[in-house]
Amino acid sequence: MRRPFIAGNWKMHTTEAEAAALAAAVREQTAGAACDVAVCVPFPHLGPVREVLRGGHVQLGAQDVHWEPKGAFTGEVSAPMLEDYCQFVIIGHSERRQYFCETDEWVNRKLRAVLASRLDPIVCIGETLDQRRAGETEAVLERQLRGALAGIQPSARITIAYEPVWAIGTGETATPAQAQEACAFVRRILRELGGPVADAIRIQYGGSVNPANAAALLAQPDIDGALVGGASLDAAQFAAICAAVPA
Ligand X SMILES: O=C(CO)COP(=O)(O)O
Q: Would you call 93 a catalytic residue per the annotation? A: yes
Of all residues in the shown chain, the one whose CB is closest to ligand X is 229
Of 45, 66, 93, 102, which residue is the catalytic one? 93
* Exposure string for 141-171, b = 16+ CB within 10 A, e = fewer: bbebbebbbeeeebeeebbbbbbbbbbbeee
Q: Would you call 13 a catalytic residue per the annotation? A: no
Are the CB atoms for 110 and 65 separated by under 8 Å? yes
CB-count exposure of residue 136 (10 Å: 0-12, 13-18, 19+)? middle
Measured distance CA(87)–CA(85) in Å, rounded: 7
Least spacing, CB of residue 41 vs ligand X, in Å? 13
Helix or strand (DSSP H, E) at 48? helix 46-53
Q: Does residue 69 belong to the site contacting ligand X (CB under 6 A)? A: no
94 marked as binding residue: no
Q: Name the one range near ligand X by CB under 6 A: 41-49, 186-194, 200-208, 238-246.
A: 200-208
Measured distance CA(128)–CA(234) in Å, rounded: 27
Per CB under 6 A, contacts with ligand X among 155-184 are: 163, 168-169
Closest to 36 in 3D by CA, of 64, 8, 53, 58: 58
Binding residues for ligand X, rule CB under 6 A, total 14
Q: Does residue 228 belong to the site contacting ligand X (CB under 6 A)? A: yes
Q: Does residue 237 belong to the site contacting ligand X (CB under 6 A)? A: no
9 marked as binding residue: yes
Least spacing, CB of residue 93 vs ligand X, in Å? 6
Least spacing, CB of residue 125 vs ligand X, in Å? 12
Residue from 230, 237, 239, 240 in contact with ligand X (CB under 6 A): 230
Residue from 207, 217, 222, 241 in contact with ligand X (CB under 6 A): 207
208 marked as binding residue: yes
CB-count exposure of residue 91 (10 Å: 0-12, 13-18, 19+)? buried
Least spacing, CB of residue 180 vs ligand X, in Å? 18
Q: Does residue 225 belong to the site contacting ligand X (CB under 6 A)? A: no
Closest to 34 in 3D by CA, of 215, 187, 216: 215
Closest to 224 in 3D by CA, of 37, 2, 1, 61: 2
Tell me the binding residues for substrate: 9-11, 169, 208, 229-230
Tell me the binding residues: 9-11, 169, 208, 229-230
Query: By the criterion CB under 6 A, which residues form the site for ligand X?
Result: 9, 93, 163, 168-169, 206-209, 227-231
Active site residues: 93, 163
